[in-house]
Chains A and B, each alone.
Chain A
Amino acid sequence: AQSVSQHNHHVILSEAASLELGCNYSYGGTVNLFWYVQYPGQHLQLLLKYFSGDPLVKGIKGFEAEFIKSKFSFNLRKPSVQWSDTAEYFCAVNVQGSGNTGKLIFGQGTTLQVKP
């Protein structure tokens, strides 16, 4: 079965530290990839997306992610985190074709806590 794995469940960083959250998926076909963020008390927001083209994708608030097809990975990065980045981060995959268009498969989420 298709699955998405986020390796870090809880990450604690100090402000200005660099961030990298891992995401791997288990499907060899064509995929669209997403990172969503859920700030405390708020709803899921799209952080960035990859459909095709340049594997390095830039999103909102200084986040970026790199799609490495050979590693089935789509890791999220930010050079310098801020206290306001404290949130839960979800990686999601949409498998194209095979009747799964429109279905997002989510990882379990990573809780990021940034200490001021």
Chain B
Amino acid sequence: KAGVTQTPRYLIKTRGQQVTLSCSPISGHRSVSWYQQTPGQGLQFLFEYFSETQRNKGNFPGRFSGRQFSNSRSEMNVSTLELGDSALYLCASSLRRGTAQYFGPGTRLLVL
């Protein structure tokens, strides 16, 4: 089975812009979670989607949002980018809620 795929792999944006990141889960997996990884804060949970509904949200501002489609693919959006949003954004999929999560390679976002 193909693993979790994320596009794009790298992005450079400027402050104030917005960005959309995409995640395709492992075939058959219905739950998708997003995480932000930075050297200072480590891995932090952003949100979780299951059956096209956000089930859980981490402690991030409303500029961070996401959605899930009927085929379980997910997107996350960050509006009004700030320098501090520079990070590796990881997507993880699991068969269903609460089961083991498998991570994609991430999208590295640099905000200038």
List A residues at the B interface (Cβ < 8 Å).
Answer: 32, 34, 36, 42-46, 49, 90, 92, 94, 96, 99-109
| Given A44-B90, A104-B45: A49 touches B100 (CB 8 Å cut-off) | yes
Are B42 and A106 within 8 A (Cβ)? yes
Extra A-B contacts (16), CB below 8 Å, given A32-B98, A100-B56, A107-B42: A34-B101, A36-B103, A44-B103, A46-B100, A96-B98, A101-B56, A101-B97, A102-B31, A103-B56, A103-B58, A104-B43, A104-B92, A104-B101, A105-B45, A106-B35, A106-B42
User: How many inter-chain residue pairs (CB < 8 Å) link A and B?
Assistant: 59
Question: For chain B residues 91-106, which have a beta carbon within 8 Å of chain A?
Answer: 92, 94, 97-98, 100-106
Most buried by B among A34, A46, A102: A102
Name A96's closest neighbour in chain B (CB-CB).
B98
Complex contact B105–A43 (CB within 8 A): yes
Set of chain B residues within 8 Å of A45, measured between Cβ atoms = 103
Q: B: which residues have CB within 8 A of A? A: 31, 33, 35, 42-45, 48, 50, 55-56, 58, 90, 92, 94, 97-98, 100-106
Q: How far is the CA of A81 from the CA of B8 in the complex (A)?
A: 35
**Residue in A32, A34, A92, A103 whose Cβ sees the most chain B Cβ within 10 Å:** A103
The list of the 8 closest CB pairs from A to B, nearest first, reads A102-B48, A106-B43, A44-B103, A43-B105, A101-B98, A101-B97, A103-B45, A102-B97
Contacts of A105 in B (CB 8 A): 45
A74 to chain B, nearest CB (A): 14
Interface centre among B31, B48, B100, B105 (most CB of A within 10 A): B100
